[in-house]
């Protein structure tokens, strides 16, 4: 199933509750947590996530671009995030952490930077609910989509199929009207979009357009016309 998750990184931080409402047709609200260590940018943390959870009925998809997620990620599950994604490059004990997140009632996600291969994580996949393949270097919104990540999305989709796993496959970075079809063709089913949604005059309409484009491709793939 296609899901569209607007990233509030491109929203107006002084009006987050209104910005969440502006995309109420979205499946999840993507919340980018950056600590200025794992990535060279600083955004928001637990207090803002707690406040957002109270301000919107849309579930929160927290993407933690932080060092030491083993220590900090469970707090986001406790704060009520429906999904908590940590980076493979930063986690010390990813299996233990994924189990802890699930125990706290959140979906557990593992994120890979563009240059991090998926194959070393093959045996961990059953511990996860989502795999996030970054399609830009994490740290900033509004960057250009990296086509070099497409083969990895295809390989990840094949791994999931081979193991009969129902994990969601998320892409994040540079996803727009122009690039979403390529991602969907490669096998992604959860699409994060920041500037393409909040940079649009009508964010809700942008979400609908992205969904239609991804669903068109997914429909074709379902009919067996688009080989992955």
Residue 3 touches which member of ligand DX5, Zn ion, none, C-beta under 5-8 Å by kind: none
Find out whether 69 and 100 touch, Cβ atoms under 8 Å. no
Question: Counting contacts by CB under 6 A, is residue 87 touching ligand DX5?
Answer: no
CA angle 173, 178, 182 (to 5 degrees): 75
**Shortest Cβ contact with ligand DX5: which residue?**
194
Name the site residues for Zn ion (rule: CB under 5 A).
Answer: 32, 63, 172
Catalytic site residue from 35, 61, 129, 172: 172
70 counts as catalytic: no
The least CB distance from residue 206 to ligand DX5, in Å, is 11
* Dihedral angle of Cα 128, 87, 83, 55, to the nearest 10 degrees: 180
Residue 139 touches which member of Zn ion, ligand DX5, none, C-beta under 5-8 Å by kind: ligand DX5
Find out whether 27 and 4 touch, Cβ atoms under 8 Å. yes
Find out whether 76 and 64 touch, Cβ atoms under 8 Å. yes
Nearest to 32 by CA among 100, 108, 87: 87
Question: Counting contacts by CB under 6 A, is residue 63 touching ligand DX5?
Answer: yes
Orientation of helix 69-78 relative to helix 94-103, angle to 10°: 10
Residue 73 touches which member of ligand DX5, Zn ion, none, C-beta under 5-8 Å by kind: none
The least CB distance from residue 41 to ligand DX5, in Å, is 8
**Site residue total, ligand DX5 (CB under 6 A):** 22
Catalytic site residue from 27, 32, 35, 189: 32
The least CB distance from residue 96 to ligand DX5, in Å, is 24
End-to-end CA separation in angstroms for the chain: 16
172 counts as catalytic: yes
Residues with active-site annotation? 32, 172
């Amino acid at each position: 199933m296609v899901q569209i998750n607007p990233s509030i990184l491109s929203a107006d931080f002084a009006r987050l509750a209104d910005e969440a409402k502006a995309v109420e047709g979205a499946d999840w609200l993507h919340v980018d947590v950056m600590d200025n260590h794992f990535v060279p940018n600083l955004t928001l943390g637990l207090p803002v996530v707690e406040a957002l959870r109270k301000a919107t009925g849309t579930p929160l998809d927290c993407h933690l671009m932080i060092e030491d997620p083993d220590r900090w990620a469970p707090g986001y599950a406790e704060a009520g995030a429906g999904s908590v994604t940590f980076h493979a490059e930063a986690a010390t004990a990813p299996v233990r952490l994924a189990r802890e997140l699930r125990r706290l009632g959140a979906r557990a996600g593992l994120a890979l930077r563009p240059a991090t291969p998926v194959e070393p994580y093959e045996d961990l996949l059953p511990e996860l609910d989502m795999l996030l393949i970054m399609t830009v270097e994490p740290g900033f919104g509004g960057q250009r989509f990296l086509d070099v990540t497409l083969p990895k999305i295809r390989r990840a989709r094949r791994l999931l199929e081979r193991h009969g796993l129902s994990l969601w496959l998320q892409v994040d970075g540079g996803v727009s009207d122009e690039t979403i079809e390529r991602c969907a063709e490669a096998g992604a089913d959860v699409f994060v979009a920041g500037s393409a949604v909040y940079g649009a005059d009508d964010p809700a309409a942008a979400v609908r357009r992205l969904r239609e484009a991804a669903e068109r491709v997914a429909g074709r793939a379902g009919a067996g016309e688009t080989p992955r």
